[in-house]
Amino acid sequence: MIFSNQGISQSINLKIIGENETSTKTIDSIGYTKTFTNYIGLQTETNLLKEKLTKQGFIDTNIEKLTKQNDTLFEAQLILGKRIDKIKIYYDSAFNIELLKSINYNSDDSFFELYITELETYLKSLNSRIAEQGDPFSTLQLINISKLNSELMSADLKVVSNQKRRIDKIIIKGYEKFPKSYVKHFMKLKTGKSFNLNAIKEKIELLNELRFASKIKDPEVLFTQDSTSLYLYVEKTRTNNFDGFLGFGTNENTNKIEFDGYLDLRLINNLNYGETLNLFYKSDEIDQQTFKVDADLPYLFSSPIGLQFGLNLFKKDSTFLNAKQYAKINYQVNAQHKVGVGITSTTSTNLLENDTDILNDYKSSYYTLHYNYTKPQFYDPLFPVNFWFDFSSGFGSRTNNIGKQKQNVFTLDTYKIFNLNNMNSIYTRLNGATLTSDNYLDNELFRFGGINSIRGFEENSLVANLYGVLSTEYRYRLSSTIYIHSVLDAAYFENKLTDNKEKLFGFGFGLGLLTNAGLFRLNYSSGKTENRQFKLSDSKVHLSLTATF
């Protein structure tokens, strides 16, 4: 044990003092490491402290001596001198003064002043701005450094420039068939643009707002003598959705259980163009059927223009059949905003033997304006969209056997998730529509109610020319894959055909479970009107499963 202890190397200590008591307090306030395992580390720490003091304005700092006091203690003496607070930096007429303004500094003269303590940070920021203009290898130097007086220094600013760099090639790795139009218009990365690595990284983050692709790692750049190649690392993700639900409740007239449900199929980017194909079918418990097919083709011919078109069929038992066709041209402003213009045409057929004042054949056409805003949070598989806003308006006319009638239609659907913390959130949704006309037909009015509208009522059982629905949920996560929520809905609608104005309310609770098969949801809700109390027999249970493949 005695020989073992002798073999253990001793640590050495460092004590640094200044030329006077004030200087020593300054050194202690900055701080330094005092214990080392070897002499080289001790010398390095002493030199590092000298650099720190210089950056604090003690530019005359000098290591006077470093002496050994005993076997374990070394003492260093530093001469700090008088502290200089400011430095005056001169630049020539060729310097881009706008760069100074970009980092919040204005100077009408050929110089600017800085505190010594902010000099390094400021020059780094200035150099970063120069690099953003396409010169990533530029450097800044201070030359001709001198003292003007005991409190002020001066220096000349020298910019050492290299060859301006532009993006010559954009190469995608991992998902080689990634739509090139999304690189050009969605992320706005183009060849020939000035090279700016920080801006490129910000644009690459937009991949997180796409459903069908994601970033593998940060971009990389290959610089050669005469070219700059940008490498993007992308992977394709599963985005096709299958959504459906089964609902059941008791019929008020027959007291029998009736079933209803729907199928919603969404195919995204299967052709590697970023396209979307929707197929929707719904059968209601009150003998109503809806069939809709829709295609969205973004960035046609590598332009920011997209095309959306579709067909919507709605049949109410043996009463009438509506066939709606629409086409829309969209312009993707950026990753979140989209505007569009289009045309909509509807043909309605009365399936009854005789026409009435409120039900007969008609044709209508509208010119439409559309706006959409989407803020995703795809990192959350339970709630992938944080904010959604969709507004459309239509201006046109309806023609039937009575004549031609001018009409306007407006629809709104928006929702927002307020994340209180990792476990709690509040979901709010507002959707509604209004049709303005001098007279109305029953087969042109809106149908709403059910799981995607006001819960606790039969699917599409409510008829109105104006309605608004406010849906709210308080959500609590039991784990990363399970959540429970409340159901609190309120609605108002008007039906001028029946001269009816009514307020509706829906209450209940729900459960969401993320499984290997998809997101399973269960809702139990009951609805009431102003003049009718709750009845448990009128409660609705909805089951749905959203699968991604």
Instruction: Give the pTM.
Output: 0.75
Q: What is the pLDDT of residue 282?
A: 85
The token pair at 520 is 């399973």
Q: Contact, 473 vs 493, CB < 8 A?
A: no
Could you read off the pLDDT of 418-446 as tens digits, one per residue? 999 999 999 999 999 999 999 999 999 99
Phi then psi for residue 95, to 5 deg, are -70, 140
Nearest C-alpha neighbor of 523 from the set 502, 546, 542: 542
3-state secondary structure 422-440: CCEEEEEEEEEEEEECCCC
What percentage of the chain exceeds 70 in pLDDT? 93
pLDDT at 2 over 70: no
Could you read off the pLDDT of 468-487 as tens digits, one per residue? 999 999 999 999 899 999 99
Could you read off the pLDDT of 359-413 as tens digits, one per residue? 889 999 999 999 999 999 888 888 989 999 999 999 999 999 888 999 999 999 9
The token pair at 81 is 């001198």
Q: How far apart are CA 443 and CA 351, in angstroms?
A: 11
Bridge-partner residues for 470, per DSSP?
A: 430, 490
Q: How far apart are CA 109 and CA 496, in angstroms?
A: 73
Q: How many other C-beta atoms are found inside a 10 Å radius of the C-beta of residue 211?
A: 20
Bridge-partner residues for 280, per DSSP?
A: 264, 292
**Residue 92 or 30, more confident:** 30
Half-sphere exposure of 414 (CA within 13 A, CB side): 11
3-class DSSP assignment, residue 35: strand
The token pair at 434 is 């209004």
What percentage of the chain exceeds 90 in pLDDT? 50
pLDDT at 1 over 50: no
Sheet architecture: strand order including 228-236 = 169-173, 228-236, 213-223
**Residue 394 or 353, more confident:** 394
Instruction: Report the mean per-residue pLDDT for the chain.
Output: 88
Determine the residue type at 282: K
pLDDT at 8 over 80: no
Interval 150-174 mean pLDDT: 86
Instruction: Average the pLDDT over each of 3-7, 154-158, 271-275, 537-541 and give the range with the smallest value.
Output: 3-7
Q: Contact, 502 vs 520, CB < 8 A?
A: no
Name all contacts of 401-404 with Cβ < 8 Å and 24+ positions apart: 401/355, 401/360, 401/361, 402/439
Most confidently modeled range among 4-8, 106-110, 229-233, 538-542:
229-233
Q: What is the pLDDT of residue 4?
A: 37
Sheet architecture: strand order including 139-149 = 111-115, 86-90, 152-160, 139-149
Label the pairing between strands 228-236 and 241-250.
unpaired
